[in-house]
Structure 1
C-alpha cells in the first residue's frame, strides 16, 4: 500500500535526493503553480478535466467518476510507463490530496512501483510556504549587487553561484528582468511560484554567514518581495558596479536578443515613450523599426535608465557602499569574490 506523507516529510526526502515529486494534475494547473523540482505526469489533460467537471456540475458525482474511470483506463499503460522511467522513489500529489493522487498512487502500488502520496496536496504545500515566509528569521548578512542597467548583474551572480557562493537569483525566481522590457522572451511567474522558489533558497541559505543578490525594487514583474526581504536589502552592504557603456549595451543585446522579439520591444518602448524627451524618443523608435538595436539601447540607457538610477547610491551611508570599476562581468565577478573572501572573517 502507498504511504501518505506530510509536507515536512516530503521535503526531507527530496533534500536527500531520495525522491522525485510528480504532479498528477493537468498541464495548466502545473504551469500555474507547483512544488519546485516536480515533474508533471497528468492523470487528465486540460480538456479531460474540463469535461469531467462539466459532468459533475450538470449530472452527478457518480457520472463524473464513471467518465473519469473510462478516460484513465485507456491511458493507464502509458501513464505507468512514464513512472517506470523515473529511477527514484516517487511521491505523487494533486490539488487537495484527493481522488487524482489517490488513484495514481493506488495504481502504481498495484504495479509494484513504490509510491508516496502528499497529504493535502498542493494546497497543503502552499499553506506551508505562506506560514514559513511569515515566520522565518533569515539571519545571513546581505550583499546587494547594484549597477546601471546592462551591467551584467545576473551574469555576475551566475558566475559566483557556479563557484559555490550563496547567491539568490530573484529575477530568475520571478522569470522577469525587472524592467518594462523585462518579460520579453520569458513567461513570468506568478506570486505563488515565486514565493515557493524564494522560500526554497531561504531555507537552503539560512545557516550561511551571508547571501548575495541583486538590488531589486519591491515589485519584479508580476511578483512582490516580502517586507522582511526588502528590509534585509536596505540594511545590507551595497556593491555598486561601474562598467563601460559599450559593454552594457552588449550585455543587453545578448540577454534580450531583440531581433527575435522586435514587436515586443516596440510595444514595451511605447509604454515609456512619453517619459523621454520627444526628439530622443523619436530616434529610439526609428532605430527599433530599422533594427538598429545597439543604437536604440544606448539611447535608452543614456536618456531613460541612467538618470533614473543615479540617485540610488546616495541613499546609503558610505560605510555600507562599495564601488568597483570593471571592464566586464568576468572582472566584476572576480573582484566581488575577493571582497566576499576578504570580508568573510568580519561576518559574525
Structure 2
C-alpha cells in the first residue's frame, strides 16, 4: 500500500529502524544537495529532465507528461530492479513531493515493493534543517582545538571521532581544509550540504555534556558557520596545540600531496602573493615551481600563516588557554585525550 510520511515521522523512524533514503531526482540535483546518506536512483537523468522541462514550458504539461512516460517506459524494468536491491524501509523523495516521487512510489507499490513517499520532498527536509538551526536549543559546551596551520587539529579530531568522542568535523562537512589552498584535490560542499551534515551531527550528539570542534573562522571554503556555533566556539574551552614547524611542514605535505596539484598550488599562491614581503613571496613561488615543497611550505608558514594565527590567538584571554606542547601529532593527540578524559569522563 502506498504510504506518505512527514519529515517529523521520518525523523522518528530513523531512530528506530534501518532506512534507505532514495532521491529520485536527476544526478545533478542530487549532487547539488540531498538528505545525508541518501542514494540516487534517478527517475530522469539530466538530459531527460531537461527535455521534459523544455516541453512543459514551450508546449504543454500534457505533452511533457507523455514524453516523460515514453522515456520511463523504456527503462522501467531496470528502474524497479534498482529498488529491489536496497535494504530496509524505503523512503523515496524528489524536489517537493511531486510527480517523480509519486509515480515512483505508485509503480513500486504495484510491483509489490513497500515504499514510503516523503511529503514535501527534499524541500521539506531543507525547511526542517533551516528551522532547526534557527531555533536550536543546545546547552552542550565546546572544547576548541586551536593551533598553527599543520598542527594536526583535524587529524586529531577524526581519531577521536573513531573512538566515538562527540566531534563536529567542520572541515569534513565543508569538504575544505579551511585555507587558501584548502580546496585543492577536493570538491567543496555548498551551504545546503554543510547545513544538513552539521545539524544531523548535532542531533546525534546533542545530549553529550561537551563537543569537540576546531577553531575555524566564520567561513570555511564555500560555507558560512552559523552564529550559534561561532558563539559556542568563542565561549568554549580553548586548547592550543604547539608543534615544531618541521612537524607541521611534514604534515601539510603529507595531507596536500602538492606534487599532484602543482598548477593548483601555484594558482592558489597567487591569491595571497601580494600579502607577503616581495623577496619572500618570490622565493616561495620559485620553490613551488621547482617542486621544493618542504622549503616552500616552511616559508609560507613562517611568513604568512603563523603571523595570522598568532594575531587570532591573541584575541583569546590567557586564562582560557590550555597549551598542549608536543613533539609530534601522535603525542599531541595523547596529551589532549588525557586532558579530555580527566576533565569530562573522570568519575
The answer for the alignment partner of 2:225 in structure 1 is: 225
Unaligned runs of 5+ in 2: none
More displaced 10-residue stretch of structure 1: 307-316 or 123-132? 307-316
Deviations 1:182-201 (A, max 9, x none): 11111111111111111111
Alpha-carbon separation, structure 2, partners of 1:12 and 1:256:
40
- The Cα shift of 1:253 comes to 1.1
| TM-score normalised according to structure 2 size | 0.98
The answer for the alignment partner of 1:258 in structure 2 is: 258
Alpha-carbon separation, structure 1, partners of 2:318 and 2:288:
40
Give structure 1 regions of 4+ aligned residues with deviation exceeding 4 angstroms: none
SS in 1 for 2:90: strand
SS in 2 for 1:91: strand
SS in 1 for 2:149: coil
- The Cα shift of 1:14 comes to 2.5
| TM-score normalised according to structure 1 size | 0.97
Alpha-carbon separation, structure 2, partners of 1:226 and 1:18:
30
Q: How many residue pairs end up in the alignment?
A: 347
Alpha-carbon separation, structure 2, partners of 1:331 and 1:17:
40
The answer for the alignment partner of 1:76 in structure 2 is: 76
Alpha-carbon separation, structure 2, partners of 1:345 and 1:53:
57
Unaligned runs of 5+ in 1: none
Conserved in 1, the CA contact under 8 Å of 2:17 and 2:89?
Answer: no
The answer for the alignment partner of 2:279 in structure 1 is: 279
The answer for the alignment partner of 1:65 in structure 2 is: 65
The answer for the alignment partner of 1:237 in structure 2 is: 237
Q: In the TM superposition, what are the counterparts of 1:181-192 in structure 2 within 5 Å? A: 181-192=181-192
The answer for the alignment partner of 1:106 in structure 2 is: 106
The answer for the alignment partner of 1:30 in structure 2 is: 30
Alpha-carbon separation, structure 2, partners of 1:113 and 1:155:
43
- The Cα shift of 1:313 comes to 2.7
Alpha-carbon separation, structure 2, partners of 1:15 and 1:334:
33
The answer for the alignment partner of 1:21 in structure 2 is: 21
Alpha-carbon separation, structure 1, partners of 2:296 and 2:119:
53
The answer for the alignment partner of 2:49 in structure 1 is: 49
Deviations 1:148-201 (A, max 9, x none): 001111110011111121000001111111111111111111111111111111
- The Cα shift of 1:15 comes to 3.2
Alpha-carbon separation, structure 1, partners of 2:176 and 2:299:
22
The answer for the alignment partner of 1:337 in structure 2 is: 337
CA distance 1:346–1:88, change in 2 (3 Å) = closer
Q: Superposition RMSD on alpha carbons, in Å?
A: 1.3
Q: In the TM superposition, what are the counterparts of 1:260-339 in structure 2 within 5 Å? A: 260-339=260-339
Conserved in 2, the CA contact under 8 Å of 1:14 and 1:20?
Answer: no
Alpha-carbon separation, structure 2, partners of 1:234 and 1:97:
40
Deviations 1:5-41 (A, max 9, x none): 0112112222334210000000000011000010011
Conserved in 1, the CA contact under 8 Å of 2:156 and 2:333?
Answer: yes
Alpha-carbon separation, structure 2, partners of 1:276 and 1:81:
58
Deviations 1:236-276 (A, max 9, x none): 00000001111111111111111111111000000000111
- Are 2:121 and 1:121 equivalent residues in the alignment? yes
- The Cα shift of 1:346 comes to 8.9
Deviations 1:123-152 (A, max 9, x none): 111111111101111111100000000111
Alpha-carbon separation, structure 1, partners of 2:214 and 2:52:
45
